[in-house]
Each structure stands twice: as C-alpha cells, then as structure tokens.
Structure 1
Amino acid sequence: MQIFSHMRRLGAALGLCWAMLAIPGHAYSNDELYDDLDDAPLEALQHEDIPVDQRIFHSRWHRAPFAPQQFDYTPQQMARHWDELMVGIRAPFPTPELLQTLIERYPELVSDTPAFTGDYQAFSNALIHVWRLFLRGDFQQAREQGLQLGLFGFYPAMFAQTLYAIYLSDRQSEKYMMLQDVANRARDHLPLLERAQDDPDAAEFVAFARLGYAYAIARIAEESPVPVIVFRRYIGKIKDGADDVLAAVPEHPLGHTFLAAVDAGIMRRVGRAAGRLTYGARTAVVEQSFQRAFALAPQIPILNYEYANAVVYLGRRQDLPKAHEYFNRATAVTPRWSMDALDVLYARQRQQEIQLMEDAYPSFRSFERQRRRFTRVTDHNLTNVLTPVLTLEQLQHPERYRLD
C-alpha cells in the first residue's frame, strides 16, 4: 500500500509540473521544468521525510559571527525585556506559575523528563538558562540542554537548531537534515497541541510550537524542486501551520509574515496563475498579511526582508527599488538577540544577491535557475551568513566550487 501511495504522489507531482505548462500566462518554461525534474532525484520522490544522519549533531557547530556577550542577558533582564525581545515569535516566558498551570493540565509536557522534580522554580531557572543560551547565540548548547527539559525546553532547543541550520550550516544537505529533524520531533507533539489549542493559558506556547514546525518545513520547501514540494505535500503542511499559529494567537506578527511568505513562495516557484489555481495563492493575501504584520511589529528584520523577497518574487524589475528599500530597513535594525542578528546579516547577503541578479540576469527566474543549479552541483547552503556572497563566476561555473 505504501508503494501505491508513493506512486500516486509521484504521479501528482509530475502531473502538476506538466499541467503548469498549459496554464495561460504562466511563465514556467520547458527548461525550468527539466531543471526541476533533474533537481529531484528518484530517492527524493520515494521518501516523504528526508533521511537524517545523526552524526551531524555530534560534531562541533560553527560559532555565530558575533560576540555572545553582546546578547547575554541576566534572568532579571530577560524577564524585564521579554515582550520586546519576543515581539516577533511571541514565545511565553517560563515563569514558575505558567509552568505549574500547564504541567498540571498537560502532564505529558514533562513525561520522561528527570530534570523536572516538582520544583517549579528550579525548573523555571533551568529553562530560562536555555533561553539565555539561545538569545546569545550558543545554539549547540541551547539544543543539548533544552532537550533535557521536556517540551518546554524542546522548542527553544529546536529553534536554536533551526537558526543554525539556516544561517550557519555549510551544506544544503546538512541544513535539510537539521530542519527535517526539527519537523520530525515536533510532529510527534501535534496531538498534544491539538488538545491545548483552545486553552488561553497555553495559546502562546501552542503558537510558538506550531510556528517552529511549519517554519522548518517552509525553509526546506522554499528551495526544493516543484516535484518534491508536491510529492511531500509541503504546501498543505505549511499553510495549515500558518493558519494554526494565527488560530492560537490572531495578532502574531510572524504568523502573519509566514502566511504572506507562503503564498509569495508558491508564486515564486510556480508563477501567479498556477499558484492561484492549484494552491489558492493570491497577491492580495500576501499584501494584506504583510500589512497586518507591519502594524504589529514593523522593526523585525525578518519581516522586512521577507517583504522585500515577496516584492522580488511578485513584481517586475521596476519594482526592485521597493525591494531594496525593505532590505535596507532590515539591515538598519539594531539587533537585540541572536535571531535578529542573523536575520540582519542574511538580509544584507540577500540584497547583494538581488543586486547581482539585477546586474547580470534578464529576469529573476533565470537567476533562480542558475542559483538552484549551483546548490545542486555544489551542496553549498546559500543562506549561510558565514560564507562570501554568491558571485557570477560561481553561478556560471558551479563545478569549480563543489564541497568535498
């Protein structure tokens, strides 16, 4: 039965690719179709989940490219400034009172957690320390210590892993495995999140948890070939995730950003017409959702660079000054913690990529084709802020830059 299920999804993936060529006004070319099919090796269309090699967690991770002391807050400072620091992701501060309320209602939160002894203050202190590690950019330590603290520690641990995967891992393959590991682990907890979905005391925790799951899937999907996106049902998982975040916390800045970026990303990959007909992606949703996010938290760097990306994906060359305006807004933000710092660094890198596209390519799609081909040939993670910005020479001769 599993073989037939894979066959049906494979047929749907390939059928969509061919069907997109017949949609009037759709810009998906024959060359792009063959590139996407070439990007999708058979093994990628046999497994819904990316196989994860656990050895990637045993080596020493790269250090973040800033001094940890820059974002090192005492527990008292964290409590005082928490709402400002978490304005985007809206994670709840792990006070003893909140922990006791949620653990008494949902004891699964600390099942198989020897670190929890019934002392809520001590457990709160341990969790605050994990968040402190995460805030200052000690991602591997945050992961290792967070995984010892049940689901309350799991989510800052997995967000730390997600940020490391996106912004600091060298290889695209390693990035994908780390993100898949986050999704795999988070998926196991979805039944608990369903139970807590309508609990107002758990709302921020549920939204943060769902955001982590959907964000990991989205960062895999945004650079995957269209057949893989369809076969692995990424779009439905991501859109459902964005809806679930906003169902828990309707005024969630990154929830609205995510909802907008999902539709923009769909149209980036398959065009406006196919995106609207196959997935209901609409430019109006993109604009409205981004405006909701800007009204809630205009200074988040990721919001500004995602909007800039959406302008690039959906606009014309004459719209690029607007994209640069929002990249500039992202890079002008003074970071207050590790996620903001990495988002600012990536916004600067992404803006330089878009400038390369303007200078050397007739269209965004032609640039994207070569960018994806470069990643396929070299296994470079192009969102890694530790590496130099992509160059035209690299795009034209990817075989010279293969990672060993």
Structure 2
Amino acid sequence: MAKWTAFPQPGSYRHDATSVTREWPRLHAGDAEPLPADAGVLQAWVLFHNGEFQQAVEAGLAAGGGGITAANKATCIYANYLEKKERNRLDLFQEAAQRAERQCEAEPDNANAWYWQAYALGRYSQAISVAKALAQGLGSKVKACLERTIALQPQHADAHVALAAFHAEVIDKVGSLIGGMTYGAKKEAGLQLFQEALRLHPRSPIALIEYANGLVMMEGEKKMKEATRLYQQAAAVQPLDAKEWLDVEMAREELKAA
C-alpha cells in the first residue's frame, strides 16, 4: 500500500503490550473489544493506540483473526481523520467495509465486525452525500449493522453513538416525517441513544462531539448553547491514545472556528 500520512504527533503515545493490557478497559470503553490472547493481535492494537495506523493495518492483517478488527479500526480512523485525498478515503472505507462484511460472514457473533462494517459504510455515505447513500440503500444497511452490534454487545458505546448519529442525519436530510416512515429515524430514539452512549462512556470525546452535532441537527439552533458546552467538554478530555487525541483536537479546532 502507498505510504500513509503520518499521525501529527509522532512519539506522543508510547504504549507497549504491557501498558495496553493494563489500560485495556479504558482504551476500549467505546468499542467493548475483548482483550486479545494472541500476541500478534495485541501488537496491532499497540500500533493503533500509538498512532501508527498503517503499521497497525499491516500487523492486524498479518495476525488474522481478531487482528482484522484492529486493521479495520486503524483503516477507518486513518481515513476519517488523516487521509487528504477524497478518492483514497472512499477506497479505504470500501476496503474496510468489505473486510468487515467477510468477517461478519465468518464470525456472525463478533460485534465489532458488524460495527466496523457500519462505520465504514456510514463514513462512505457521508462522503458521497447522505441523501445519495439513502437512495442506494446504504442507510438501511448501516442501521441494521449497528442494531446487530448493540444486540450482540449492549455495552458498545460507540455503536450507540453511531446509531444515534444515523437518526440525526436522516432527520436532518429528509425531515422527521419521511425519516420516520421510510428509514425508521426518530428524534426520541436518537436522543436516548446519545444519552446511553454517554452513560456507558462518559469521557468519550467523540460521543460528546457527535451528541453536540446531533442535537443541532434534530433540535435546531435553540440547542447551539448546549452543543457548545458539549464541545467544550470534549476539548477538555485528556486523551489516552492517538485516536482520542484526534477527537479532542477536532473539538478544539471547531471551538476556535466558532
């Protein structure tokens, strides 16, 4: 694969197998991924948490098994935050979605196989336009994958965030009436999902950011003050790893631009 853009703060996170194992419950409070027993899979996660996303993908694919999840997460996070070329971003999301779909077929009870398929398809949908994606049936697939994730792992905070964001974006793009009748998107469900996500993982910067965005999409300008407060909370989080640093930095940049 072509050389990826480097994490902007190389060397800021120096996790190793010991520290990742020790901090696993906090590092994976969002995705509820089980601690791997395989050393190769664990090393892929070490690389991910340190922001070495390309190396994490290579290590995860080489390890196989649970390493596929690490590879998919590294691909998606890199594509979402760091890849500069839109065509490359779309290709990476499609690659991750296809890998995750094959993983779902092989391991139908693997919650994160369903989650990363949904995440990759969801970000791909945002890139091509939510309205276009809905017309292609991608929205229904994302929703079904996220609902499956939560059914398999009710503690999956990130899936609650993503499903809440689905409700918010559909309502924002097509309105409450069509969104509810055609896609099953409901404001009350979205708000409950965001609140549950924060109950499960209260210090998640991405949950705070997405909740802020979702409030404005579903409730309008009257929620701008609360949305700003949520962004401020996200910006104040002390990041545990490279991915959280990217989330926190995004919140800080948004506040500067406001």
TM range (shorter): over 0.9
Matches within 5 A, 1:366-385: none
Could you tell me which residue of structure 2 aligns to residue 103 of structure 1?
none
Structure 1 residue 300: Cα displacement: 0.4
Structure 2 residues not aligned, in runs of 5+? none
Give, in whole Å, the separation in 1 of the partners of 2:68 and 2:164: 27
**Residue 165, structure 1, aligned to residue 69, structure 2:** no
Query: Given residue 64 of structure 1, which amino acid in structure 2 is its aligned partner?
Result: F
Bigger drift between 268-277 and 171-180 goes to: 268-277
Could you tell me which residue of structure 2 aligns to residue 60 of structure 1?
3
| Matching residue within 129, 154, 168 for 1:250 | 154
SS in 2 for 1:216: helix
| Matching residue within 261, 275, 280 for 2:184 | 280
Structure 1 residue 227: Cα displacement: 5.3
> 1:253, 1:296 within 8 Å by CA — same for their partners in 2?
yes
Bigger drift between 272-281 and 79-88 goes to: 272-281
Could you tell me which residue of structure 2 aligns to residue 217 of structure 1?
121
Structure 1 residues not aligned, in runs of 5+? 1-57, 96-123, 198-205, 356-404
| Matching residue within 205, 219, 234 for 1:315 | 219
Q: TM-score, normalised by structure 2?
A: 0.94
Q: Residues 370-401 of structure 1: CA distance to partner in whole angstroms, max 9, x if unpaired? A: xxxxxxxxxxxxxxxxxxxxxxxxxxxxxxxx
> 2:130, 2:169 within 8 Å by CA — same for their partners in 1?
no
**Residue 80, structure 1, aligned to residue 22, structure 2:** yes
Could you tell me which residue of structure 2 aligns to residue 240 of structure 1?
144
Give, in whole Å, the separation in 1 of the partners of 2:254 and 2:190: 20
Query: Given residue 210 of structure 1, which amino acid in structure 2 is its aligned partner?
Result: W
Structure 1 residue 211: Cα displacement: 1.1
Could you tell me which residue of structure 2 aligns to residue 189 of structure 1?
103
Give, in whole Å, the separation in 2 of the partners of 1:192 and 1:315: 41
**Residue 179, structure 1, aligned to residue 179, structure 2:** no
Q: How many residues align?
A: 258
**Residue 300, structure 1, aligned to residue 204, structure 2:** yes
Query: Given residue 83 of structure 1, which amino acid in structure 2 is its aligned partner?
Result: P
Structure 1 residue 91: Cα displacement: 1.2
Structure 1 residue 242: Cα displacement: 0.9
Structure 1 residue 244: Cα displacement: 0.8
Matches within 5 A, 1:4-403: 58-68=1-11, 70-95=12-37, 124-194=38-108, 197=109, 206-226=110-130, 228-351=132-255, 355=258
Rg larger in structure: 1
Give, in whole Å, the separation in 2 of the partners of 1:349 and 1:180: 28
Structure 1 residue 339: Cα displacement: 1.3
SS in 2 for 1:151: coil
Structure 1 residue 289: Cα displacement: 0.9
Give, in whole Å, the separation in 2 of the partners of 1:81 and 1:225: 37
Query: Given residue 337 of structure 1, which amino acid in structure 2 is its aligned partner?
Result: D
Structure 1 residue 144: Cα displacement: 1.3
SS in 2 for 1:191: helix
Structure 1 residue 137: Cα displacement: 0.3
SS in 2 for 1:250: coil
Q: Which structure exhibits the higher relative contact order, with contacts defined as CA atoms closer than 8 Å and separated by 6 or more residues? A: 1
SS in 2 for 1:90: coil
Give, in whole Å, the separation in 2 of the partners of 1:163 and 1:126: 20
> 2:170, 2:185 within 8 Å by CA — same for their partners in 1?
yes
> 1:85, 1:336 within 8 Å by CA — same for their partners in 2?
yes
Give, in whole Å, the separation in 2 of the partners of 1:226 and 1:257: 17
Q: Residues 41-81 of structure 1: CA distance to partner in whole angstroms, max 9, x if unpaired? A: xxxxxxxxxxxxxxxxx32111111133x322222222111
Give, in whole Å, the separation in 1 of the partners of 2:51 and 2:130: 33
Query: Given residue 180 of structure 1, which amino acid in structure 2 is its aligned partner?
Result: Q
